[in-house]
Structure 1
Amino acid sequence: MAWWDQYFSAGQRGKVPPEKLEFDISNPRFTPDKQPSNSTDAAIIAYLDRTADLGELIQSIASSGYIDIEPLIVIPRDGDLIVLEGNRRLAALKSLLNPALASEAGIPLPEISPTVRKTLERITAYKVEHQDEARNLIGFKHINGPQGWDAYAKALYAARWLDDETAKGDSGLSLNEIAARMGDKHDTLYRIVSAAYVLQQAQDLELFRVEDRVKKNFSFSHLYTALTYTEFRDFVGLPRADRSANPERNPIAQEFYQNLRTLLLWLFGSKSDRIDPVIKTQNPDLSLLKRVLGHAVARKVMLERHDLAAALSLTIEGSDRFSKALVDAQASLHQAVGEITNADNDEETIEIADDVRRRATFIYNTLVAQRPDGN
C-alpha cells in the first residue's frame, strides 16, 4: 500500500496536504532557456515568482482563502506524488504554509488569518497512473486555454507527447490528432514541433546550446518562422514540409551540420564565442537574411563575414546600389551641416571636407555628361 492511498480511498480524487506533494521538475514551463537554479523547492518557487506572477496568486489566496474548485493533477513517481498540473498553485500554497521556505525563496508573505489557513491544509487532487490521462486537459489549458505557455514550452510539450505516441507504433496518435486534442491548429503545432526537433538535434550534437545565446530572452519564433521559408530550409537541407505526416526527429543530414550551427549563430549568437546574432529584430532582419540566402554571391559573403548589411548590398542591382549610396551620403551631409558649428577646424577635417567636395563634383559631372543632351 502506497502512502498516498489513504487520501484516495474513494477513487482518483482526494484531499491531500500540499506539503505532501512534489513539484514536477520536467514541467514544460522549465524550458532550457528558463530553468530554476536547482531542483529544490525554494529554487522552483523563486523561479515561478519571477516568471509566473506567483506573488499575485499568493496575495489573492491570503486575502480570500484557497478556492478549491479545480483539482491539481498528480501522478505517483518514484515514491513521490508529483504535480503534473498546478505547480504554480502548489508554490503559492507551500509558501503560505511554510514562511521559512518562502523566505529562502525571497518571497515576502502577507499575514493570513486562521480561517484562510484552514483552507490551505488539504486541497483536492486528481490522481492519474499514466501521464496520457492528463495530457488532453493540460495541453488544452496551456496551449489555447487561459494559462498559455510561450511557444517554446508549447513546442517541447507537444514534441514529448508526440515522441511517446510514436513509441506506441500504429496505435499512437499523430500530431494532427494531438493538435485536435490541444485545441490548436495543426499547421501551427507542426511548425513549432518541427523547429523544436531541429533545435534539439543541434543541442544533442553540441552544435549549439540555448543557454549560450546572447540575448536574455530566447526568441524561438526566429527559428520556427525561418524554417517555413524555402531559402532557410535549403540552407540546412530540409525538404519541403509534409504536413500530412509527423515531423521527423533528427531531420538534418550530417553534411548540413555546419550550416545548422551557422544558422543558429545568425539567429541567436554565442556568448562563449563572442558572436552577436545578425537577427536583431525578426522584422525586417529575418526577411533580409532570407534574401541573402537566396542569392549565391551574397550567401558566400555572409558565410565569410557574418555581416548582413555587406551581404545584403550584393543583392541590390547596380543602379539601386548607387541610388542608395547617394541618398545615404546626402543624409550624412545633412547631418554634418547641422553640426558644422561643432567642427574641429584642423587640417585633417579640412582634408576630409575637400575629399568630399572632389568626389561630389566627380559624381555630378559624370551624371551630367551621361545625359543625352549633355546638360
Structure 2
Amino acid sequence: MASWDRYFGGGQRGKVPVDELHFDRNNPRFTPDKQPKSNTDVAIIEYLDRTADLGELVQSIAASGYVDIEPLIVIDRNDELIVLEGNRRLGALKVLRDPKIAEASNVAVPELSDEIKKTLQEVSAFLVHHEDEARNLIGFKHINGPQGWDAYAKALYASNWLDDELKKGDGGLSLTDIAARMGDKHDTLYRIVSAIYVLQQAEAAEIFRVEDRVKKNFHFSHLYTALTYSEYRDFLGLDKADRTANPPKNPVPPENLDRLQRILVWLYGKKSENRQPAIRTQAPDLSNLKKVLGNQVARRIMMERNDLFEALQMTVEGGDRFSKALVDAQSSLRTAVTEVVNADDDEETISIAEDVRTRANFILRSLIAHKAASSE
C-alpha cells in the first residue's frame, strides 16, 4: 500500500498535500525542440514560465487563492503521484509555497496573506490507474484549451495514443475516435500523425535526428505541409493518403530512404555536417522546392548540387529565364552606376567592368542578328 493511498480512501478522488505531487517528467509537451534544461523542479518551472504563462497564473492565485474546482489528474509511478494533467497549476503552487524555488526559477511572487496560504496546502486530485483513463479525461481541454499544445507535441501525443490502441487489435480506438476525444479535426490529426510516422521512420533508420537540425526551433509544419503536396509524396514514393484508415507506419518504401534523408536535410539541415537547410522560410521556399521536385531537370540539379535557387531556375521556360536574367542584370547595373563614384579603380574592378561590357555587347549583337533573321 502506497503512503498516499489514504488520501483517496479506496476511491479515485481525494485531497492530496501539494508536497506529495510530482511533475510528469515524461510530459508529451516536452518535445525535442521544446523541453526543460533538466528534470529538476526548478528547470520544469522555468520552462513552464517561459512557455505557458506560469507567472500569470501565479499572480492570479496570489490574489484570489487556489480555486480548487477541477482536480489534477494523477497516476502512480514507482509509488509517486505523478501529475498527468495540471502541471502548470502544480508549478504555480510549488512557486507560491517555496520562496527558494521561486527565486531559483526567477518567478516573481507577491506577498501572500495567511488566508491565501491556507488554500495552497492541499488540492483535489483524480487518480487513474492507466494512462488510457487520463487520455479520455484530458481530451480537449489539455490539448486544445487555453494553453494548447503546438502541432509537434499534439502529433506525438496522438501518435503514441494510436500506437497503444493498435496493440489492442480490433477493440482499439481508430484515429477518427482519437480525434473526436481530442476535439480536433480528423484531417488535421491525420496529416500531423502521418508526418510523425515519417519522422520516426527516418530516426529508426538513423538517417535523420530532430536534434541534429540546424535551426533552434523545429518547424514541424514544414514536414506535414510538404507531405500534402503530390510532388513531395511522389518523390518519396508515398501512396495516396487514405483518410478512411489509420495512417500507415513506415510509409516510405525502403528503397527511397535516401530520398527521405534528402527531403529532411533540405527542410532542416544537418548540424553535424554543417549542411544548411534549403528551406529558409516556409513561404515561398516550400512551394519552390515543390516546383523543383515536379520538374525532372530541376530535380536532378537539386539532388546533385543542393542549390534551391539554381534548381528553381530550371523550372522557368528558357525565354522567361533569359528575360528575367536580363532585367536582373539591368537592375544591378543601375545600382552600380549610382555607386561608381565610390568604386575602387584597381585592375580587378576594371577587368570586371570590361567583362560586363563584352557580355553586354554579345547579347546586343545576338538579339539584333536574331531580329534581322526573323524579318527575312
Normalising by structure 2, what TM-score? 0.95
- Structure 1 equivalent of residue 197 of structure 2: 197
Q: Distance in 2 between matches of 1:311 and 1:162?
A: 39
- Structure 1 equivalent of residue 334 of structure 2: 334
Please tell me the residue identity of whatever aligns with 2:131.
Q
- Structure 2 equivalent of residue 269 of structure 1: 269
**Bigger mean CA deviation after superposition, 299-308 or 252-261:** 252-261
What runs of 5+ residues in structure 1 fail to find an aligned partner? none
Deviations 1:282-341 (A, max 9, x none): 111011111111112211211111110111112221101101110110111121122122
Q: 1:368 Cα shift?
A: 2.6
User: Is contact 2:25–2:39 with CA below 8 Å preserved after alignment?
Assistant: yes
- Structure 1 equivalent of residue 131 of structure 2: 131
Deviations 1:185-238 (A, max 9, x none): 111000000001111121222211112211111100000001111211122221
User: Is contact 2:298–2:311 with CA below 8 Å preserved after alignment?
Assistant: yes
- Structure 1 equivalent of residue 48 of structure 2: 48
3-state SS in 2 of match to 1:120: coil
The answer to whether residue 2 in structure 2 is matched with residue 2 in structure 1 is yes
Please tell me the residue identity of whatever aligns with 1:265.
V
Q: Distance in 2 between matches of 1:207 and 1:142?
A: 33
Q: Distance in 1 between matches of 2:76 and 2:14?
A: 14
The answer to whether residue 369 in structure 2 is matched with residue 360 in structure 1 is no
Deviations 1:20-70 (A, max 9, x none): 011111212101211222222222112212222222222222222112222
Q: How does 1:272-283 map to 2 (within 5 A)?
A: 272-283=272-283
User: Is contact 1:13–1:125 with CA below 8 Å preserved after alignment?
Assistant: yes
Deviations 1:87-115 (A, max 9, x none): 11111111211222233334343322211
- Structure 2 equivalent of residue 12 of structure 1: 12
- Structure 2 equivalent of residue 206 of structure 1: 206
Determine what percentage of the aligned residue pairs are the same residue.
67
Q: Distance in 1 between matches of 2:212 and 2:55?
A: 29
Q: How does 1:203-282 map to 2 (within 5 A)?
A: 203-282=203-282
Q: 1:10 Cα shift?
A: 7.2
- Structure 1 equivalent of residue 118 of structure 2: 118
- Structure 2 equivalent of residue 91 of structure 1: 91
User: Is contact 1:368–1:374 with CA below 8 Å preserved after alignment?
Assistant: no
Q: Distance in 2 between matches of 1:370 and 1:313?
A: 24
User: Is contact 2:42–2:105 with CA below 8 Å preserved after alignment?
Assistant: yes
Please tell me the residue identity of whatever aligns with 1:32.
P
Q: 1:154 Cα shift?
A: 0.5
What runs of 5+ residues in structure 2 fail to find an aligned partner? none
Normalising by structure 1, what TM-score? 0.95
Q: Distance in 1 between matches of 2:128 and 2:218?
A: 33
- Structure 1 equivalent of residue 303 of structure 2: 303
Q: 1:350 Cα shift?
A: 2.4
Q: Give the number of equivalent residue pairs.
A: 375
- Structure 1 equivalent of residue 141 of structure 2: 141
Q: Distance in 1 between matches of 2:82 and 2:219?
A: 30
User: Is contact 1:143–1:154 with CA below 8 Å preserved after alignment?
Assistant: yes
- Structure 1 equivalent of residue 316 of structure 2: 316
Q: Distance in 2 between matches of 1:26 and 1:256?
A: 33
Deviations 1:258-277 (A, max 9, x none): 11111111001121111111
Please tell me the residue identity of whatever aligns with 2:12.
Q
Please tell me the residue identity of whatever aligns with 2:155.
A
Q: 1:171 Cα shift?
A: 0.5
- Structure 2 equivalent of residue 166 of structure 1: 166
